[in-house]
Amino acid sequence: MAVYILRRLLQVVPMLLVVTFVVFLLIQAAPYDVVDAITTPQMSDETVDAIRAKYGLDQPIVVQYGLWLGNVLQGDLGYSLVSRQPIAQELAARVPNTVMLVAPAYLAALVIAIVLGLVAGSRRGTVLDKAIDGLAGVGIATPSFWFALLVIYVFGYQLRWFPIIGMHSVGKQGDPVDFLLHFVMPFTVLVVAFFPELARYVRSATITQLSQEYVLVQRGFGATRRQVLTRHVSRNVTLPIITQLGLALPILVTGAIVTESIFGWPGIGPYFLTATRSLDYPVILAVLLLSAVLVILGNLLADILYVVADPRIRIGARA
């Protein structure tokens, strides 16, 4: 298995290089560049050229990419054109806030999806199955930004049960009760956003497992439907969910941009949207790079967890 993991790690390196180069090219293809964002029409051409040379933008694309990649490998993501602060430092302050919101929401949605998906799949065609599947369908069809605004209007504005904006009230930083009050509404919106696809995934996997021969064998030995579902089917259903957990890695950082922005949660979302509006290309590039890297690492993590969880894959990895 160690050889398999090492082989997968070696495959990640060229993939990361390709992804980072593509992301860099996308930023270069934008109608404006860094110089356009930090210069004014009153500046002379000589001044603009000097600024362009300062940032290495007068060099060929490949040279610019090499300089940028070298800085990234040293942990230097550059400076924000708006705040003039190191981007790595700003991300380090915001990523934990996003993870603090998204991770519990995703795990809660996963638990709910597993329970309801198993119930729906084991009761295929019944009223309960149709109700759960219909609920998931409504969730998929409901835009998260619309649901977020609805939650704010009902529970934040009309009922005034929860604060609408931010992560803390002014002067209450560190108050756990105040944090939980701010946490409830964006958490609920994210659970509703994550749950539907996961529930349908589990339902489909459950239906597939119930059609396997081992289920008939267990029933032939006298096992009840509930015993088969809890002792055997649920275990086999969790294997594809491992893949979902690996693929969920980028969601932990960039999966709540809209929700965070609506609720004013101080995470990656407002930071990225502000950078987009202000043409802060170094920040945009850093966030896109972070997202791309997490996608690749998520796939790698899913592959490794799958090998650990499934002995059949482990045997194939040794071959």
Please write the tens of the pLDDT for every residue from 163-220. 888 888 877 777 788 889 989 999 999 998 888 888 888 888 888 777 777 777 776 7
Are the CB atoms for 98 and 268 separated by under 8 Å?
yes
Give the bridge partners for 79, in sequence order.
86
pLDDT tens series, the chain, 319 aa: 667 667 777 777 788 888 888 878 877 776 666 666 666 677 777 787 787 777 677 777 888 888 888 888 888 888 887 777 888 888 888 889 888 988 899 889 988 988 888 888 888 888 888 898 888 888 888 888 888 899 999 988 888 888 888 888 877 777 788 889 989 999 999 998 888 888 888 888 888 777 777 777 776 767 676 777 777 677 777 776 776 777 777 777 777 888 888 888 888 888 888 888 877 888 888 888 888 888 888 877 777 777 766 655 554 545 4
Cα torsion at 160, 175, 166, 96 (round to 10°)? -140
Q: What is the end-to-end Cα distance of the chain in Å, rounded? A: 10
Tell me how far apart the alpha carbons of residues 296 and 19 are, in angstroms, rounded to a whole number: 9
**pLDDT, position 297:** 81
**pLDDT, position 178:** 85
- Compute the residue count for the chain: 319
Which tokens belong to 9? 């790690």
Q: Quick check: helix, strand or coil at residue 86? A: strand
Tell me how far apart the alpha carbons of residues 171 and 254 are, in angstroms, rounded to a whole number: 28
Tell me how far apart the alpha carbons of residues 34 and 31 are, in angstroms, rounded to a whole number: 11
Q: Quick check: helix, strand or coil at residue 35? A: helix
**pLDDT, position 59:** 77
Tell me how far apart the alpha carbons of residues 5 and 303 are, in angstroms, rounded to a whole number: 9
User: CA-based Rg of the chain, rounded to a whole angstrom?
Assistant: 24
Long-range contacts of 247-251 (CB under 8 A, 24+ apart): 247/295, 247/298, 247/299, 247/302, 248/106, 248/298, 249/294, 249/295, 249/297, 249/298, 249/301, 250/291, 250/294, 250/295, 250/298, 251/102, 251/106, 251/194
What stretches of the chain show up as alpha helix (H) in DSSP?
2-28, 34-38, 45-54, 61-73, 87-122, 127-141, 144-151, 176-210, 213-220, 225-228, 234-247, 251-254, 257-263, 268-277, 281-309, 311-318
Tell me how far apart the alpha carbons of residues 23 and 9 are, in angstroms, rounded to a whole number: 21
**pLDDT, position 242:** 72
Q: Please provide the CATH number assigned to the domain covering 92-318.
A: 1.10.3720.10
What's the longest Cα–Cα distance across the chain?
87
Whole-model pTM over 0.75: yes
* CATH 1.10.3720.10 domain locations along the chain: 92-318
| CA nearest to 237, candidates 148, 309, 313 | 309
**pLDDT, position 311:** 58
